[in-house]
Structure 1
Amino acid sequence: MVLAEGVTKAFGSLQVLKGVDLEVARGQVVCLIGPSGSGKSTFLRCINHLESIDAGWLSVDGELVGYRQEGHNLIELREREAASRRAQIGMVFQHFNLFAHKTALRNVMEGPVAVRRMSKAKARSLAESLLERVGLKEKADFYPSQLSGGQQQRVAIARAMAMEPKLLLFDEPTSALDPELVGEVLEVMRDLARGGMTMVVVTHEMGFARDVADKIVFMDGGVVVEAGMPAEVLGAPKSPRVREFLSNVT
């Protein structure tokens, strides 16, 4: 589903990604872990072309996102074309990014109506079913300011799912939440994983990564230091850097 080969990205003189190689199979849950500033979130944003890449290859389901190939060169697409391809990739952000002036129901309806040209009646039915799936059926007419952080994040997940994406990206989805609200969001993500959704998750929740991930990828200094099954990377890491990191977070 995701293929990255030698992906690099710099912001001015700061080289954030220094040649990232990664494969994500269809139906896999891959958790990206590592210290702050290691390039995890930047890489995630590159997958759906919220950030352009400087070099390398990055495709989703066999298709370049944000680029077309001409010979050996990659040509960046216009924003409208890039947005069309990006519509197949859902993303859940750290700070929810809900529309403050729209109810939970309208937030979930917005993408299907505006982007997919779905009828409002069909979009409403879809939104209602998704809000029920994330346990918020009774909050459909509430505005974001009337919801807890955990509830807002669950609305954000429902909104991403409304586009029927082939891939879901999560950028530290629980890091802005009070500790007692983390569990309700992780449970929704566990449900998505059980349903076979392909997911790439940047997270500091080691328990979630251990329980749900098919693959753990540890990044540091803009590169993949170690990757493998949770039992390998979290239980018996080969890299001294991974062992050092885990000793400080678990």
Structure 2
Amino acid sequence: MKRTALIFLLATAGIPPLNAQTVDKTDTPLACSHFTADADYINITLVMQLEKREVRLRVPQEFLEDAWNRQEGARKTAFLFTTMIDTFEPVTRAQTPKLNFEYTSFLINDYIDLPKLAELVLDSASPGKASPWEPLSAYNTRPYKYGLVEVIPNYPKELQANVYLKTGQDETVDTVIACRTPEAVPYPTCQQFSRTDSGVDIKFHYPLRFLPIWQKMQNNIHSFVECAIAEAEKPAP
């Protein structure tokens, strides 16, 4: 399991107040519903430099806003998509100011492996001079809500983000989530990192109020990527 070098950054500036009510809709449609026979598709290739491999995807054109990504056969080391959290409908930049941050932008890329990424996130969560980088094994964890475990900070007085993990049956790290604390920023957000079944690395962000449905959001994004890969593998008509 592997992933690419990462500079940990949580965007917080300029975010207006949010409704404190948690949004948890159970009727979120499967992301693959957008892959219809009559959709207009674009073939793109994700170049995973660390793994030295390429992943072909065939994506409905409506999800690719930028002209350089809409070029047939585009080859890039990362692709960015923005969708509504509840419906997974594609969102444009022009629409976002009216949406009260009820959308997420997700990046498909190539990251370093999740345990190492978790160490970088934890190092940034307590960035003070007295909090040196430490291996993941140096941290204790405790059960948290929503199927997650919380990493107990070694330097709580300097804490700027809470870090949560989802581990598999073999105790390997499947998901890393870092959420800025209300004490650190006025309108906290979360960043989430995971890996699809096909080995594509995912990063996405959202307001803290959506943390209870992190799994649903991740499932939709993973489904979208896996369906795009499956669509690219279909024989040409």
Structure 2-normalised TM-score?
0.29
Question: Which is helix-richer, 1 or 2?
Answer: 1
Structure 1-normalised TM-score?
0.28
Q: Which has the higher contact order (CA 8 A, sep 6+)?
A: 1
